[in-house]
Chain A
Amino acid sequence: MKLRNALFAASALVSVTATAALADGHATTLTIATVNNGDMIRMQGLTDDFTEKTGHTVEWVTLEENVLRQRVTTDITTNGGAFDIMTIGMYETPIWGANDWLVPLDDLSDEYNVDDLLPAMRAGLSHEGTLYAAPFYGESSMIMYRTDLMEAAGMEMPEAPTWQFIREAAAAMTDRDNEINGICLRGKAGWGEGGAFITVTANSFGARWFDEEWNAQFDQPEWAEALNFYVGMMEESGPPGYATNGFNENLSLFQQGKCGMWIDATVAASFVTNPNDSTVADSVGFALAPNSEGVEKKSNWLWAWALAIPAGTQKADAAKEFIEWATSTDYIELVAENEGWANVPPGARTSLYENANYKDIPFAKMTLDSILAADPTDPTVDPVPYVGIQFVAIPEFAGIATEVSQEFSAAYAGQQTVEEALEKAQAITNEAMEAAGYR
Chain B
Amino acid sequence: MVRAVTTQRKALNTAIAWTVGLLIFFPILWTILTSFKTEAQAIADPPIFLFFDWTLENYAVVQERSNYMRFLWNSVFIAGGSTILGVIIAVPAAWSMAFVPSKRTKDILLWMLSTKMLPAVGVLYPIYLIFIKLGILDSRIGLTVVLMLINLPIIVWMLYTYFKEIPGEILEAARMDGASLRNEILYVLTPMAIPGIASTLLLNFILAWNEAFWTLNLTAAQAAPLTAFIASYSSPEGLFFAKLSAASTMAIAPILILGWFSQKQLVRGLTFGAVK
A→B interface (CB under 8 Å): 31, 33, 35-38, 41, 44-45, 59-67, 70-71, 74-75, 78-83, 192-193, 246-248, 251-252, 255-256, 258, 265, 267-268, 271, 276-279
Minimal beta-carbon separation of B238 from chain A (angstroms): 5
Q: Is the interface of A mostly helix, strand, loop or mixed?
A: mixed
- In the complex, which residues 121-144 of chain B have their Cβ closer than 8 Å to any Cβ of chain A? 124-125, 128-129, 132, 137-138
Residue of B nearest to A59 (CB): B221
- In the complex, which residues 10-51 of chain B have their Cβ closer than 8 Å to any Cβ of chain A? 38-40, 43-45
Q: Which of B128, B221, B233 contacts A74 (CB 8 A)?
A: B128
A-B contacts, 24 listed (Cβ < 8 Å): A31-B221, A33-B220, A35-B235, A36-B234, A36-B235, A37-B235, A37-B238, A59-B220, A60-B221, A61-B220, A61-B228, A63-B231, A64-B234, A67-B231, A74-B217, A79-B132, A80-B132, A82-B138, A82-B220, A246-B236, A247-B236, A256-B43, A277-B239, A279-B40
Say yes or no: is B68 at the interface (Cβ < 8 Å to chain A).
no
Q: If the complex has contacts A74-B124, A74-B217, are A66 and B236 also in contact, measured as CB distance less than 8 A?
A: yes
**Cβ of A268: which chain B residues have Cβ within 8 Å of it?**
237
Q: Is the interface of B mostly helix, strand, loop or mixed?
A: loop
Minimal beta-carbon separation of A69 from chain B (angstroms): 11
Residue of A nearest to B45 (CB): A256
**Cβ of B125: which chain A residues have Cβ within 8 Å of it?**
74, 78
Once bound together, how far apart are the Cα atoms of A268 and B239, in whole Å? 11
- Pairwise interchain contact A255-B43, C-beta atoms closer than 8 A: yes
**Cβ of B217: which chain A residues have Cβ within 8 Å of it?**
70-71, 74
**Cβ of A255: which chain B residues have Cβ within 8 Å of it?**
40, 43, 239
Q: Which of B128, B138, B216, B238 contacts A248 (CB 8 A)?
A: B238
**Cβ of A71: which chain B residues have Cβ within 8 Å of it?**
216-217
- Pairwise interchain contact B137-A247, C-beta atoms closer than 8 A: no
- In the complex, which residues 92-131 of chain B have their Cβ closer than 8 Å to any Cβ of chain A? 124-125, 128-129
Q: Which of A45, A61, A256, A267 contacts B237 (CB 8 A)?
A: A267
Minimal beta-carbon separation of B58 from chain A (angstroms): 14
Minimal beta-carbon separation of B230 from chain A (angstroms): 9
- Pairwise interchain contact A252-B239, C-beta atoms closer than 8 A: yes
Say yes or no: is B202 at the interface (Cβ < 8 Å to chain A).
no
- Pairwise interchain contact A78-B239, C-beta atoms closer than 8 A: no
Once bound together, how far apart are the Cα atoms of A216 and B132, in whole Å? 40
Say yes or no: is B3 at the interface (Cβ < 8 Å to chain A).
no
Once bound together, how far apart are the Cα atoms of A61 and B215, in whole Å? 13
**Cβ of B235: which chain A residues have Cβ within 8 Å of it?**
35-37, 64-65, 248
Say yes or no: is B182 at the interface (Cβ < 8 Å to chain A).
no
- Pairwise interchain contact A36-B128, C-beta atoms closer than 8 A: no
Q: If the complex has contacts A78-B129, A80-B132, are A63 and B137 also in contact, measured as CB distance less than 8 A?
A: no
Minimal beta-carbon separation of A282 from chain B (angstroms): 15
Once bound together, how far apart are the Cα atoms of A41 and B217, in whole Å? 22
- Pairwise interchain contact A252-B40, C-beta atoms closer than 8 A: no
Q: If the complex has contacts A44-B65, A61-B224, A78-B132, are A248 and B44 also in contact, measured as CB distance less than 8 A?
A: no
**Cβ of B45: which chain A residues have Cβ within 8 Å of it?**
252, 256, 258
- Pairwise interchain contact A248-B237, C-beta atoms closer than 8 A: yes
- Pairwise interchain contact A62-B40, C-beta atoms closer than 8 A: no
Q: Which of A64, A246, A265 contacts B231 (CB 8 A)?
A: A64
Minimal beta-carbon separation of A240 from chain B (angstroms): 13
Once bound together, how far apart are the Cα atoms of A436 and B222, in whole Å? 38
- Pairwise interchain contact B239-A63, C-beta atoms closer than 8 A: no
**Cβ of A79: which chain B residues have Cβ within 8 Å of it?**
132
Minimal beta-carbon separation of A403 from chain B (angstroms): 17
Residue of A nearest to B129 (CB): A78
Say yes or no: is B77 at the interface (Cβ < 8 Å to chain A).
no
Once bound together, how far apart are the Cα atoms of A265 and B235, in whole Å? 14
Once bound together, how far apart are the Cα atoms of A67 and B235, in whole Å? 10
- Pairwise interchain contact A63-B216, C-beta atoms closer than 8 A: yes
**Can you list, as one digit per residue, whether each of B59-98 has a CB less than 8 Å from chain A (1) or not (0)?**
0000001000000000000000000000000000000000
**Cβ of A38: which chain B residues have Cβ within 8 Å of it?**
238
Once bound together, how far apart are the Cα atoms of A192 and B238, in whole Å? 15
Once bound together, how far apart are the Cα atoms of A259 and B216, in whole Å? 36
Residue of A nearest to B121 (CB): A70
**Cβ of A252: which chain B residues have Cβ within 8 Å of it?**
43, 45, 239
**Cβ of A248: which chain B residues have Cβ within 8 Å of it?**
235-239
Once bound together, how far apart are the Cα atoms of A258 and B45, in whole Å? 10
Known A63-B228, A82-B138; 20 more pairs at CB < 8 Å: A35-B235, A36-B233, A41-B65, A60-B221, A61-B220, A61-B232, A62-B232, A63-B231, A63-B232, A64-B235, A64-B236, A65-B236, A71-B216, A74-B217, A78-B132, A80-B137, A81-B137, A255-B43, A255-B239, A256-B45
